[in-house]
Amino acid sequence: MISRRHFVTLTGASGAAALAGCTDSSGGGGGDGSDGSDGSDGSDGTGGSGVVDTTLVGATNNGVPTNMHVNPMATQNYDWIAGNHLFERFAAYNFTTQEFELAGLSDWSFDGTTVTLTLRDDLAWDTGDDVTAGDVITQFKLMQKTGATLWDYVESVEQGDDDKTVVLNLSDPTNPQIIKHTLANGDLRIHAYQPVYEKFLDQEASAVQQFKWEEDIHGNGPFSFESKSDQGWTLRRNENFHAADNVNYNTYELLTRTDNTALQQGLLGGELDVVSSLFTPPTIVANFPDRVEEVQLPAKWGYGAIFNHDDEDFGKRKVRQAIAHVINRQQVADNSGPRTKTPAPKVTGIPPEDQETWLGDDLDSFEGYGPNASNTEKAASLLREAGYTKSDGTWQDGDGNALGGSYITPAGWTDWTTATNTVVDQLNSFGFDFEINSLPQGDYFGAYIESNFTMGAFYWLPGGARSSFPYFPLRWQMKIPDIDGGHNFPEGEHTVPAMDGSGEMTLDPLEEITSVATSQDEAAVEETVKRVAWHHNQNIPVLSLVAKVDQSWLTDAEWNVAGEDDPARGVKWPSHWLPKQGKLGAKQ
């Protein structure tokens, strides 16, 4: 009898889908030099030089691959799961050890206003050519064009003493932890292959942001691009990868799966070996066979809501505040995933578990917006103050237009579907008039990028370890680079009630939080974080609703997998990181 895995090797993703009958980072690294592993040591013997003719089967739910691409700078229709396997990262944050681990870098050093990055000597493109300082400098300069966080504190970038050294010149001395978190950001990869990206240096940012990399794809990660189809991506072991000896199988398939249910069924039925990230409710987890292993990791991420600040209704602060008062965050968490989700205690832009640490005794003065109740009387008062009236059970503007519209949500994210149903039910019961618009992922992000929305579901934190340091989430909520700032939050000064309850305070929240990157005064940083968090609490650039724990999935029936106590499982995502360490290998 032919095995499923051999079948995949012979027929590719299309055959596998047919067979299955489916349709569908705060870190501890200290010092000024290297403070982590080199990203390839510590093999436990599950990898090795003997390559098995077999296929690791994962999945992507980001969209049909023929509609997707692998240019990380073009966020719409970028498949980050495929991209993460094609391109090596600079560094990673390990949630278990709470330390940074180097990957594409062999060293990073910090000296005043100079950061020196040293690329691994053996880091190469799958063509066999070295990854050079020129490639990385090209990438950093393009990141400057697109307004990346790195350039909040970098003034210029240049080659160092050789073509494996990159020097970042800072505008002011900067907290090394901020630089490290920026470079170790989960999906930041060394991707700017000069022959492809160099031409964009002399063009507007929109050129690279609209470039769909689908041809002449070359990476430097553990796998190389072979093909894509409606059924999935086919990736091949990259013999030129610096830790290729740790990868002992020749093919990685990423099958197309459009929703969480299909991914869960794939794990239940043995079709899928790994899934990067997948919400799975307790009833399904209980039914998984013993070969399926769950890895829980801090998410610093979760379900929230964003508004189009250019909209004549939702651009009004009192309307946003009214919505915050209506939504019962505890109920949203209970309905969408009580095993893995918790409500945000306060609407601040800071992860729930970090709010007390950063806000201290002042946390009590922040508006709670009723985390476990719907404050309908307060919400009604705010809407009346904003000029709305309620007629026949529906809130209306002065022209009789109902207050509401299309509420965007991503199709296939089953826990988010439940959360959205809960939120919209609460809002409509109060008198809003929303209808749910469930969109495929590409269209979902596209609507936000193009500002073609009024309100919708969106994550309220950038995710990963960096979210623990408030500089990142507070800035992110105002900029949201994931959607090119399509929520149109206005830059400049904003006036909100004073923190002490007397009068008002005026601040430029983006300017203030940006200053944190270069501040050497701990007390000043804490005060700035409180001021900007207070602004977010009052002005609500993004509505914080629910935080979560990430669930990642491995299987061990046909694969040697790092044990539960192995700290290598603490890097996101295990199915991306472990193969490079020789800790997710084919059984021989």
For the chain, what is the mean pLDDT? 91
> Do 577 and 476 fall within a single domain?
no
Q: CA separation (Å) from 120 to 37, 177, 264, 332? A: 12, 21, 38, 46
The mean per-residue pLDDT over the stretch 41-53 comes to: 59
| Domain that includes residue 61, residue range | 4-291+556-586
Q: Is residue 298 part of a domain?
A: no
Tokens of 351: 């992860």
Residue 469: inside a domain, yes or no? yes
Is 38's pLDDT higher than 50? Answer: no
pLDDT score of 27: 31
**Residue 31 clears pLDDT 60, i.e. is over it:** no
Number of domains forming the structure of the chain: 2
Q: What is the rounded distance in angstroms from the CA atom of residue 268 to the CA atom of residue 28?
A: 37
Would you say residue 326 lies in a domain? yes
The closest alpha carbon to 263, from 227, 290, 232, 234, belongs to: 232
Cα angle vertex 198, ends 194, 204, to 5°?
145
Both 133 and 273 in one domain: the answer is yes
Preceding omega of 416 cis (within 30 degrees of 0)? no
Domain assignment present for 296:
no
- Shared-domain flag, residues 494 and 565: no
Among 7-21, 151-165, 393-407, 452-466, the least confident range: 7-21
- Which CATH number does the domain housing residue 424 bear? 3.10.105.10
CA angle 272–549–344, rounded 5-degree value = 145
Please write the tens of the pLDDT for every residue from 104-145: 999 999 999 999 999 999 999 999 999 999 999 999 999 999
The mean pLDDT value for 352-371 works out to 95
Q: Is residue 250 part of a domain?
A: yes
Asked whether residue 477 is assigned to any structural domain, the reply reads yes
**Sign of the dihedral through C-alpha 80, 85, 89, 91:** positive
Q: What is the chain's percent helix, strand, coil content, to nearest 5?
A: 35, 25, 40
Distance CA 279, CA 324 (A): 25
> How much is the pLDDT for 291?
98
pTM reported for the whole predicted model? 0.80
Q: How confident is the model at residue 44 (pLDDT cuts 50, 70, 90)?
A: very low
Q: Is the pLDDT of residue 23 over 60?
A: no
Q: Give yes or no: residues 309 and 204 share one domain.
A: no
Going by C-alpha positions, the residue among 278, 276, 270, 228 that lies closest to residue 253 is 228
Q: Are residues 117 and 149 in the same domain?
A: yes
Looking at the domain assignment, is residue 513 inside a domain? yes
> Any idea what the CATH number is for the domain that residue 75 is in?
3.40.190.10
* Least confident span in 22-36, 231-245, 301-315, 344-358: 22-36
Sorted by sequence, the CB contacts under 8 Å of residue 469 that are 6+ apart come out as 26, 177, 178, 181
CA distance 124 to 60: 26
The residue assigned the tokens 């049909």 is 64
pLDDT band with cut points at 50, 70 and 90 for residue 529: very high
Find, among 234, 276, 277, the residue nearest to 255 by Cα: 234
Nearest residue to 455 (alpha-carbon basis) of 403, 393, 407:
407
DSSP H or E stretch at residue 52: strand 52-60
pLDDT at residue 565, as a whole number: 96
Same domain, 214 and 259: yes
Let me know whether 377 and 418 are in one domain: yes
Give the tens place of pLDDT for each residue, 248-285. Answer: 999 999 999 989 999 999 999 999 999 999 999 999 99
Q: How far apart are CA 207 and CA 201, in angstroms?
A: 10
284 and 366 share a domain?
A: no
Residue 49 confidence (pLDDT): 55
| Residue 193, burial from CB neighbour count under 10 angstroms (0-12, 13-18, 19+) | buried
Q: Are residues 286 and 354 in the same domain?
A: no
Question: Is residue 43 scored above 60 in pLDDT?
Answer: no
Same domain, 61 and 167: yes
Residues 97 and 114 grouped into a single domain? yes
Say yes or no: 250 and 234 in one domain. yes
Q: Is residue 39 part of a domain?
A: yes
